[in-house]
Structure 1
Amino acid sequence: MTNNDNAPFSFRLIATDGMARRGEIRTPHGTVRTPAFMPVGTQATVKAMYPDQVRELGSDVVLGNTYHLMLRPTAERVARLGGLHKFMNWPHTILTDSGGFQVMSLAQLRKLSEKGVTFQSHVDGQKIEMTPERSIEIQQLLGSDIQMQLDECIALPAPREEAERAMRLSLRWAERSRVQFEAMGGPGRGQALYGIVQGGTDPELRLESAGMLSQMPFEGYSVGGLAVGEPQEVMLKTLEITTPAMPADKPRYLMGVGTPEDILESVARGIDQFDCVLPTRAGRHGLAYTRYGKVNLKNARHADDPRPLDETSPCEASNRYSRAYLHHLVKAGEGLAAMLLTWNNLAYYQQLMQGIRDAIEAQTFEEFRARTRADWAKGDIPPFASR
């Protein structure tokens, strides 16, 4: 799709198979095929990868982080330099999160109020205020295609009273975020703002949050506050309750998730978009994802193994380099280890997403799901037996 800075944001549902959905999101910077995995480019870079590599692997969209970019190099500087797309040489769709999660997890001496959050920067100790309005202002300066409301994300498990307080505050912040987004002309530029469903793991709170947000004119809706300490089965049960209450004609985004299994199971429960640092972070720490599960290249059993990670993969990082060589790079602390393993991991994630999309269109998602889980259950290929 040719980039068009005036193209409206839209979502088209192409096929369904059970609760699984195949669709397309159109933004001024291209078409996003859903279900989509969005590599995380926290500080305007997907770590250890060139932008062209990320695109060639099948990524239609990457994620940038409002909190980190507001601190360094600052959103105002990015705007002066032509916006985030130009700054990071990514002419395709960009989603920015609101910065709320990082304020809660990284900032020092934070103080929460109805107005917003005042915190001390983890970079230089500067005192900063983040409000729903300021979060939208930063995202507008960055020029992202899909933007997120400011919300409060709490760790789980949490008392119901705490989950309810944070959920209601997030709803009020959602209204203020929307007002600011419209005042700054986001809809006229084809940009989108997503509301975020909160409520911990309490079914009533999740349904109330989804219902209230559905009455607000957001272009998409997210499920936040999961994968923050609760067991996977609790997360999936919460999704089973929540996604049917979200608008069916808008994209559904599960924030910060996750493992390949999390993604496969969440697609089965109606989710369209995902992001997670896992494939890139794992790659920097010697862990590879393959169609037969995880491979820890730190393990000594790979030291004499001449086989690649996956000879059937079209990714060169997966099929051209021996496990012995990758093990050596990891043990030696070489930067190439992070580059090759991140390349492999993102390739696998995008292959998984393409397989999911094809299966939904072919009405064979359950077969694909069962076959994929069976492959994972087999575990990695047997250790190489040297002669």
Structure 2
Amino acid sequence: MKIWGEIDTADYDNDGLDDETGIALKKSADSEESTSLVSEDSTDMESSDTGEVGSPRYHQSNPEPMPEDVKHKEREFRKRLNRNAREMAADTIHAKVKLIVHRPDYDQGHQQEYVSLSKGLMPVVREIAKKTLPLLEHDVSSEFTRNRYYGSKFQADSVAYRDYRYFAKKRPPTESPSLMVGLRVDESASMSAFGRLEAAKRAVIAVYEFCQICQIPISIYGDTADVSRLEQMSIFAYADYDKPDSNDRFRLMGIQARSNNRDGMALRILAERLAASPQQTKLLISISDGQPKAMDNYTGSYAVADMQQTIEEYERKGVTFLAAAIGQDKNVISEIYGNERFLDITNLQELPAKLVRIIARYL
């Protein structure tokens, strides 16, 4: 049985939240002056501005102290995430679970780890993006918008996807294809085994950078359960489409193997974020190595029923779920999500490219 850890109440402010600092705001990936992308030829971090496509530059030094107004905005954003998450849980079986949504910080060590892990990934990510971008340009200029539930034009090639989006309809002059991606990372203790944690980090790097290149809004959340009696559910907002920041890539290196996992609550929180977005297609990918298990008695058929109910509820709201199973409980995860939503990742080295190609398919 898990032993509850000690917690210093001085780390929490009046609304029960930890007093973390934030990072200066950058433009959204949706904006025409979007910044991001990992350096192609150099691992030096020279400036935060982007150069050619796929080639940003970074500062080598530690992050500079933030102005007070930026700290205030970051704190208010974090508190808003907490309020929204708690409101979402109010009418569910998770209503009494003590929840905290964190906005992780980053340091020079995170920067260095990011550069190290991204080196081998970026050529693959850029190659997939290179093949995808011309399709996006063609799709935007097309007279018809594809993959609709109804329309005036039947698309025979879409039947293979079995998602009932078999039609195309005339596109209004202002309408363009749109996709929102949510990536949920299981941060349970078992993720520390067999290289799963590094595989998860490599996957989120690949997905994050691909989305930056293709200007796809993305939210990346991690979660764990039962770190203490005052914090029974922990959500880590590493990247959020409402507050994009080119330094989010460094925050991703804060993903850790921590404690238990309350999957249904984590899925619900991120799915709610996606369901509220204006994008036409909302894709939620969960990277997990095991079945749900948290105190008290959130396990077995009870937890499975909660997850399946959450998936069904948010699919009705337009969210598409995919589960990337990277651990020993693949059969259980497949039963929870269903074969049509299940990805069996036997070779962890294949995880980053597989996820990126799947996202490209939804564009």
> TM-score higher than 0.5 here?
no
| Structure with more of its chain in strand, by fraction | 1
